[in-house]
Chains A and B, each alone.
Chain A
Amino acid sequence: MCAWVNERNAPELLEYEGTTLENLMELVDFQNQRIQSQPAVIANILKMDVDRVKYLVRSYLRTRLAKIEKYALHYTREPRYRDRLSQSELDYAKGFVALEEKHMRRSFLDQLPPHLRALDETTTNGLEMVPKPDVDSAVFCRVRTTVGEFQFDASEDPILMKRTNIFITRYSIIRDLLEDGKVELI
């Protein structure tokens, strides 16, 4: 559940929770088998659990897909993000990039002079064509385990971060805390 909420709120793609997902799906299979042999009341309760888990898994994967579609080129190029994709997500992302490129070429790029055809140029003043997630964008986070004094910015006084405190801040500032599980996004 926490992984789902974090993934929904983080601007960039997070680590893929492969093992957790596998365990969940195994549990779903197991419970599905059990349901048949149970009396109606218990079967209903089990069925609800199974449905809730299925919803969670589905929404989690779809959230990731939405992000992958948005920044497909960036995610397939950067090794850091590549490692976060599951095999099927990586295949999907590559296919998406190829399709997009083919579409661009067919519809107008092939009519342009060759030196204007690239999709991934960097201009002389550092502007890039490849869209990237904005890791400085605003997120709401809640402290899970007391962090203590935390420096939000080098020029500011540190602020005490205690359990259950809630902050709105830049994603990049609390990214390490999120990876350590010390804060959760909400």
Chain B
Amino acid sequence: MAITTRQQEGFTMPELEYMAQCEDITIVPLHRMERLELMRALMLKRSNRCRIVAPEWLSYEHLHNLCKREDQPDSMFTKLPFHYLEIAQILLTNAEDDLIDSQGVRRLIQDLREVRQSKTREGLRMLNPLQLQMDNLSIAEINEIRPLFAHSFDMLRRLDELAGSSDVSRQQSQNMFADQSYSEFDDTFSSSYLNPE
């Protein structure tokens, strides 16, 4: 097999970190450079040639506010860097001494991740066979829900096709969704936090 089954379903965490390392980061240089890609910063850091400046969003205060905002009922996903989980993970592992209150930051990242996870799970209820808008989700979060969401999406699509192909099966599938009918799905989905506009 040319690539592993896991890779055919999505990306592995090391692969996501590989992508994330192309993001820029600020360092305090012992040489001339100041802003460069994360991968180079890490290299300099490992050889003790620089100190990494934590991005603004990776501070206790900022994350604390984000957590509060994220936790509000019916709120949409807050805006975070596309690779926020990987960058946090990389910095917490490789440059812990450059972060202020790294323990607190670690805990808040975990909290934030859990709140967002339960929100995405709620979002699954709004899935329909056409499209669902899910702005501000990060790539690691998408990668995590990919197998479940993609599979559910394809199943819904197939049910929909069956429903369209004959009236008998249409009635059956409507009965299947009798208590939470399709139309209700559609209504909640348009006014949902996943789709703020």
A interface with B by C-beta (< 8 Å): 1, 5, 8-9, 41, 44-45, 48, 52, 55, 59, 62-63, 65-66, 69, 134, 136-140, 152-153, 156, 159-160, 164-170, 173, 186
Contacts and interface: CB of A to CB of B under 8 A. Distances in A.
B43 A169 contact: no
A108 B127 CA distance: 44
Contacts of A159: 131, 133
Interface string B138-159: 0100100010011101100100
Contacts of A160: 197
Contacts, number: 86
B92 interface: no
Contacts of B142: 140, 166, 186
Contacts of A48: 39-40, 43
Interface residues of B, number: 36
Residues of A contacting B: mostly? mixed
Contact of B43 (A45, A69, A165): A45
A137 to B, nearest CB: 6
Interface string B1-26: 11100011011000100110010000
Given A5-B19, A66-B2, A138-B150, A173 B43 contact: no
Contact of B134 (A63, A156, A166): A166
Contacts of B19: 1, 5
5 contacts: A41-B47, A138-B149, A152-B130, A168-B149, A169-B132
